[in-house]
Chains A and B, each alone.
Chain A
């Protein structure tokens, strides 16, 4: 039975399939806008957030994110569901305007409890409780660095990716609205979007690894609490350990004083960490007259190449080198050999757990 026949049997009037689109549009136009708004939470008139396609708050996410999710949910319950800001109460939201930059006085590392700064004082032992595989990979990385072989995916003009993103220097900016907060770093013009409009995480069927992850959050008075999942595996920073795609975090971002914003970060990574890793990043207000964030073009002056031994090297003015360029596998081309091995083991572990199915 075709469409035309079905419709014909239900009434006296014959409706052609070609008319259905027009009818659907007419029906859609007759539905009050408020119906959509109510389906995903009350909104102020004039809001520009994309209301109809927000994932439901309770959207299921994989098991390996559950522990961090429960920590986040508990914080939200303790905050009585979170402070509800709206357009008309925007003035009560924290004022994080201006420019900020990571406090580099103690170095560039992710491990804020690690001794040394990596500049004038060598870094001490890492304080993260790494799993044996990730610990072995980290030790191998340090040996390679010591022998002069170090590669950074930034040299491929790729983003730092979260959570490494938290460690990067340069200018930062917060754009705070009731529905979402953008946290921008000028490096690679890389921006995190933290949704505070009540949405849940991206559903499993459409989710995929994201450089800066999938972040949702709520306000606990003046503190932004954030849950982030679905990152792409990478390193916490050069000379720091690696993290897996199963990494998730809970952050509490708040202003310490007029010139300092702190981000208390707890990291869970079933593959890379035996216990959660807690660090506190600090960002200082930038007061340079006229400072502003501009578009950052990584290829604007990038003459770094990877040598055959896996190290970083320059092509200097007047030099010409022949670079053998092969197919760049998007999942692996920027990784070091140690990382390729480590993350391949992660995948093999998953396949074994699923009875050999990929």
Chain B
């Protein structure tokens, strides 16, 4: 399934461009527990969707996102990231991604085309940027608004 089949919008494109510069250093997200052979590290995809849940756990965390196809059908995507200690080091907290959050996700896709990938970065609706992988810089969170 090609990324071209998914909706995109200008804001997300801008966010993706902003983080694109670090992508070369983000290859090989899955550094432990299993081979990364199922991912195509020569490609990146950018998807926009709504968080279903964030599994913050060992040996790997998974961000589950509902993405709407161009034909209107919702598709459940899974993005694998590292375990809690590595994510915490990168500034990604258990509640960084809550069900219902709108997110833009950049990932290395699966070689077999199934809806999953190795998570590289996430941009949330408030503009916060979260990156994973070896050498990932700390999360850049949007200023907290006064409520």
The distance in angstroms between the C-alpha atoms of A302 and B62, with both chains bound, is 11
**Chain B residues with CB under 8 A of A286:** 89
**Chain A residues with CB under 8 A of B24:** 120
- SS class, residues of chain A in contact with chain B: loop
Judge whether A145 and B37 touch: CB under 8 Å. Answer: yes
Judge whether A301 and B76 touch: CB under 8 Å. Answer: no
Interface assignment of B116: CB less than 8 Å from any CB of chain A: yes
**Chain A residues with CB under 8 A of B60:** 301
Q: Which B residues from 23 to 77 make CB contacts under 8 A with A?
A: 24-25, 27-28, 31-35, 37-38, 55, 57-62, 64, 76
Q: Which residue of B lies closest to A238 (CB)?
A: B35
B107 CB to nearest chain A CB (Å) = 13
B138 CB to nearest chain A CB (Å) = 10
Q: Which B residues from 78 to 131 make CB contacts under 8 A with A?
A: 78, 80, 83-86, 88-89, 110-111, 114-116
Q: Which residue of B lies closest to A151 (CB)?
A: B35
Knowing A286-B89, A317-B78, the reply to whether A155 touches B33 (Cβ < 8 A) is yes
Judge whether A154 and B34 touch: CB under 8 Å. Answer: yes
The distance in angstroms between the C-alpha atoms of A275 and B37, with both chains bound, is 32
**Chain B residues with CB under 8 A of A314:** 38, 78, 80, 110, 114, 116
The residue from A104, A119, A186, A301 contacting B57, defined by CB atoms under 8 A apart: A301
Judge whether B33 and A291 touch: CB under 8 Å. Answer: no
**Chain A residues with CB under 8 A of B135:** 104-105, 119
Q: Which residue of A lies closest to B53 (CB)?
A: A317
Knowing A152-B33, A298-B58, the reply to whether A313 touches B28 (Cβ < 8 A) is no
Knowing A171-B85, A296-B59, A298-B59, the reply to whether A304 touches B33 (Cβ < 8 A) is yes
B100 CB to nearest chain A CB (Å) = 17
The distance in angstroms between the C-alpha atoms of A317 and B115, with both chains bound, is 10
Interface assignment of A34: CB less than 8 Å from any CB of chain B: no
A58 CB to nearest chain B CB (Å) = 39
Judge whether B31 and A108 touch: CB under 8 Å. Answer: yes
The residue from B88, B114, B116 contacting A288, defined by CB atoms under 8 A apart: B88
**Chain A residues with CB under 8 A of B64:** 317
Interface assignment of A55: CB less than 8 Å from any CB of chain B: no
Interface assignment of A266: CB less than 8 Å from any CB of chain B: no
Judge whether A298 and B33 touch: CB under 8 Å. Answer: yes
The distance in angstroms between the C-alpha atoms of A302 and B30, with both chains bound, is 13
23 contacts between A and B (CB under 8 A): A104-B31, A104-B134, A104-B135, A108-B31, A119-B27, A119-B134, A119-B135, A120-B27, A145-B37, A152-B35, A154-B34, A155-B34, A169-B31, A169-B86, A288-B89, A291-B88, A301-B55, A301-B62, A304-B34, A311-B35, A314-B78, A314-B110, A316-B78
List 6 tightest A-B contacts by C-beta distance, closest first. A150-B35, A312-B35, A119-B28, A155-B34, A150-B37, A304-B34
